[in-house]
Chains A and B, each alone.
Chain A
């Protein structure tokens, strides 16, 4: 154990007295209420909700609201913290809460596991909202071992899924985002999140929902509302317009059940990393990867991890540079080389019979040999912690190691994801990197980023890491994020998802007609606008 660790612990121990009163600050006395809602309305709504779920499951004062107020995202003006939280145990209670919300016009922000870290967690896009916390509803309703499907409630975590499958000896895999243990399939899928096995595009492997509408009606999508809904988790589309999509990244209903598909554990699992030495290699890697992904030879959602992002997981900034200005490629390259990392580390995994895996590996090795990539195996990477981390993710394993990112720049725990999308073409990469570096440097932040290659698209995943304990830096991070959104938008690269602090800004980039259609759907389904006003820029 290093000396640095021990020093750090002493420091933390000294912080005991300082803990009290940190998260409470956002929910100060004069908290902003939702438009048209009086203090008396809020109090009456909370009182009525207590009668539904019991006193223990409603929070309405600064002290009890603390756990719902903590977020990594920037909130320099304190407008995102909730004014209350209510936690139902079942669908009937959800309906009763919606009725109360309609009566008092008190908006509710639904969350499932509520750990949308770096996108706002349990804070809200517009002020004055009560968190509708569905975490207590954590029943695994069914697991079909023949069809390899499950039906779950919103509060189910990936840890619970894994435990259930293991305890019942069911040889199915789950697919997790990087922070699996404390998040879950419903919240992740509804925000259109991703993981890293072949089932990584979560909305693609979602099948059937139960949704409580703002007026209390219960909608079952797909085959769910037919007389004998035996195919609810087997057939996504049902009949007529496909509705599931409008309940993702939206505020049109409260999802209370969701079906998902699970992958059978393969006979052989083989993780690989392809290392490249130069920043400019990114274009070649993308062009080599695209046909392999489209043809399914590389079956999983691939991460091309930049060295700076990798280092920020397990190291502190001070170990890599002493300068306050943006860390340079040279500094990163040098430190990365010492730790057996390339400037780009592309993680691929193969799944199947020994023969299938061997043939795919042969093709992949050929493709990367042609562009000077080192293809490395588990045996070669030995105990490399980064390889171990990604090998865990690509088999749906559970980990929270990557949260170390929040400590790259000071202890303050500031992190906001900026995630613009482009087609998976090499020509789309370098321009984005140059632009990101330029904007980040202007505000004094590092370029810590990765690309995820879906099938035909490239998600540029930029972790804006800042020290949230410094108010000036929090403000700079907020400004920087806005400039990233607009700067990238001007070049045609728009976000696939964003945090509560920037939802309106990103929505504006998708155009007036798009916004008007969303507004019309909102008006029809939730005329009192009680569900999460501001989510994805929908009022």
Chain B
């Protein structure tokens, strides 16, 4: 039980990953790191999708992939990830270093 609680604490988001959403307001544009953590990271580097950080994947390829999906990868609509969020996210992923905590399969 103790161990479990510690794990839960470790998963709590750092301040940079906050959404800052307040009551009655729509979600503001998220930082690339937050978008990645809120959507992509649950699959990529987490048993479902291939690792995409640290591979210098082309920005346009990442964008096309997000909008069209492919096989097991669902497509993400502009209502889910706004055009501005996707622009920033694709550049961020393309430049990001490998995250050693992520795993393949």
Contact = CB atoms under 8 A, between A and B. Distances in A.
Interface in B3-22: 3-4, 8, 12-13, 18-21
A23 B71 contact: no
Interface in A3-28: 4-6, 8-9, 12-13, 15-16, 19-20, 22-24
A400 B42 contact: yes
Given A114-B77, A160-B19, A314-B105, A407 B38 contact: no
A407 B4 contact: no
Interface string B30-52: 00000000110011001110110
Nearest to B34: A163
Contacts of B46: 400-401
Contacts of A115: 74
Interface string A294-316: 00000000000000000001100
Given A67-B76, A182-B39, A403 B71 contact: no
Interface in A69-117: 69-70, 72, 85, 87, 89, 113-115, 117
A430 interface: no
A1 interface: yes
Categorize the interface residue count of chain A. Answer: 35 or more
Contact of B21 (A1, A160, A407, A412): A160
A23 B42 contact: no
Contacts of A142: 23
Interface residues of B, number: 47
Contacts of B8: 395
B75 A23 contact: yes
B79 A2 contact: no
A165 B78 CA distance: 25
A226 interface: no
A13 B8 CA distance: 35
Contacts of B68: 19-20, 22-24, 66-67, 70
A412 B71 contact: yes
A143 B21 CA distance: 13
Nearest to B67: A67
B7 to A, nearest CB: 9
B4 to A, nearest CB: 6
Contact of B71 (A4, A13, A411): A411
Given A22-B70, A411-B72, A412-B71, A137 B48 contact: no
A67 B48 contact: no
Nearest to B78: A67
B101 to A, nearest CB: 12
B1 A268 contact: yes
Given A15-B70, A378-B1, A404 B48 contact: yes
B23 A400 contact: no
Contacts of A135: 77, 79-80
B100 to A, nearest CB: 10
B74 A141 contact: no
Contact of A182 (B3, B21, B80, B105): B80
Contact of A1 (B48, B61, B64, B104): B104
A22 B76 CA distance: 14
A181 interface: yes
Nearest to B42: A400
Contacts of B24: 139-141
A159 interface: yes
A269 B47 CA distance: 26
Given A133-B79, A140-B24, 8 more contacts: A1-B104, A66-B67, A113-B80, A137-B26, A140-B23, A181-B39, A403-B43, A412-B72
Leading 7 A-B pairs by shortest Cβ distance? A5-B104, A135-B79, A400-B42, A406-B72, A413-B71, A70-B75, A413-B72
